[in-house]
Chains A and B, each alone.
Chain A
Amino acid sequence: MQPAGRRTVVDLALQDNSIRAEAASRSRVLARLQLGDSGFRYLTRAAALGVLALLGGVIVSLVIGAWPALRQFGPGFLVSERWNPVTENFGALAPIYGTVITSLIAMVIAVPVGLLIAMFLTEMCPMWLRRPIGIAIELLAGIPSIIYGIWGLFVFAPFLQDTLQPFLIRIFGDIPVLSTLFSGPPYGIGMLTSGLILAIMVLPFITAISRDVFDAVPPVLKEAAYGIGCTTWEVVRYVVLPYTRVGVIGGIMLGLGRALGETMAVTFVIGNAHKISASLLAPGTTISATIANEFTEAVGDLYTSSLIALGLILFVITFIVLACARYLLLRIERRIG
């Protein structure tokens, strides 16, 4: 094991004339192995550092690419709604707004549903069904986002246009605040549709992590609660959820990170309109959809640079969200493990 130890063995052997030749060749082999050993160590270390360099590279290249736009527009870039390729006047507010609103819609739906599914899987479901249902939910996570996009465009959006959206407009038409939220013609595509598709996409992430942390609750705790006569709901509400709070929040943040950065599914159904509308039914745009739609067609350095600046903003937002998520999940892992 220790290089020093190895050498002493060889030295001892070398004192004996009869095996000198053999020992010499043996020391050559050992030297080669030693070289290979430290070589391998440095190689793996370089690869590990390479992962860090990758993240650094992403940040540096985005900042460099975004610099012309940031210099031109300054902090006003973040709060300006203008997006005019002809006059080369760009602002990021509309895409940021769209990203935040669609992710918000997604989380409002996916969080309760995901937690309820996790509750079903850990507390109610018969044993033999747990694995198949768990796998099925995880398959939802495996479907590529472009599939959600094409399905959303051809199936889901027309369906919403015919059913849910006219319904919402009719129901909330007379209520003051909600009527603005659900005003305008039912286009089918738009912020609400994107939010709903995102909800379906992040649902499996939230479900899988909540189920895993629910499963990690020590059975004694649950048994004790059941033992004093708690109902299933009370066990989940007052024992499981408080115990796993940190992990659940971590899972939710992870889902949020996905929703914020999701590109293809949203690009299909958002409508790519650079304006902020009060109505959720109106078309809008998100950061990722803007980049996907316009990057290859962007003429002029300022246009390209503005799109990269959007990418930088998206990266910073998701980085913060994901870092929080990982930190929280790390905390619960330490407590359990």
Chain B
Amino acid sequence: MNSRYAGRRSRNIIAMILSLSATLFGLGWLVLILGTLLWEGFSGLSLRVFTEMTPPPGAAGGLLNPIMGSLLLTFLAVIIGTPIGILAGTYMAEYGRHEKLTSVVRFINDILLSAPSIVIGLFVYEVVVYPMGHFSGWAGAIALAVIVIPVVVRTTEDMLTLVPDTLREAAASIGLPRSLMIVKIAYRAAKAGMITGILLAVARISGETAPLLFTALNNQFWSTDLNAPMASLPAVIFQFALSPYKDWQALAWTGALIITMAVLTLSIVARALSASGKQS
């Protein structure tokens, strides 16, 4: 009896130690990756990074054109993807909550949400780049928009479902048409959550590389022409990091630091926003 108890206790202790070390292991990676990133990226961080174009190998330069390219592509992707996502999410939560169509769309949307982004790149290549005959900024923005849509659909539906029905009934009882009720009441009640969703979508696409490789391609020079190939931070990091030139590699680290900081800031803001939304 006693030895059995000792055995159970020691198994428990082993399991506890294992789970504690697993947690430390997981956190360790975060510290390691962020640490290296700060260490390698900070040394190259200067005003020049934000004011000069990407250099040829061996020359000094910055990341101005990829930064602008990334901002522009992200902005366009959100402008294209968000309305579609919000409208689809609205249908699922407001009009067709119990319809078969809604559960089918939800299922498909969840699959799109975690579909490999490189496949999205191939899709946009087939649909946009190939018919146009050349790589373009538009193709990149569309590829990113395809990634934005499922994220926004998901959060919009979830947030609208949380809006209490009493609010809708109150709006209906004073004669508000359903569409106005959705726009003026339900959207307003779910605002924090929906903005969180958009921020998460921005965080997700600002680091995406795979779908840009053969849509927006890359561009060594300053270009805001959406019909031409466009530089983006992830694509430049990919190119520079795999190059044999030391100063290109250093710029790649700096770019990586900028992206990571942007993404982490966005996701922390999104988290804070959704936390404050839950309390109120």
Contact = CB atoms under 8 A, between A and B. Distances in A.
Nearest to B40: A154
Interface in B15-38: 15-16, 18-20, 22-23, 25-27, 29-30, 32-33, 36-37
Contacts of A140: 26, 29-30, 33
Interface of B: 8-9, 11-12, 14-16, 18-20, 22-23, 25-27, 29-30, 32-33, 36-37, 40, 83-85, 87-88, 90-92, 94-96, 101-102, 104-105, 107-112, 114-120, 122-123, 125-127, 146, 149-150, 153, 172, 177-180, 182-183, 203, 206-210, 213-214, 217, 234, 237-238, 241-242, 249, 252-253, 256, 259-260, 263-264, 267-268, 271
Contacts of B217: 296
Contacts of A263: 116-118, 209-210
Interface of B is mostly: helix
Contacts of A145: 207, 209-210
Interface in A93-126: 112-114, 116-117, 119-121, 124-125
Residues of A in contact with B, size category? 35 or more
A261 interface: yes
Contacts of A12: none
B114 A117 contact: no
Which of A48, A51, A296, A330 has the largest count of B CB atoms less than 10 A from its CB?
A: A48
B88 A44 contact: yes
Contacts, number: 266
A62 B203 CA distance: 27
B123 A292 contact: no
Contacts of A203: 26, 29
B18 A116 contact: yes
Interface string A197-234: 00010011001000000000000000000000001111
B273 to A, nearest CB: 14
Interface of A: 1, 33-34, 36-37, 39-41, 43-52, 54-55, 57-58, 61-62, 64-65, 112-114, 116-117, 119-121, 124-125, 133, 135-140, 142-151, 153-155, 200, 203-204, 207, 231-234, 236-237, 254, 257-258, 260-264, 267-268, 288, 291-292, 295-296, 307-308, 311, 314-315, 318-319, 322-323, 326, 330
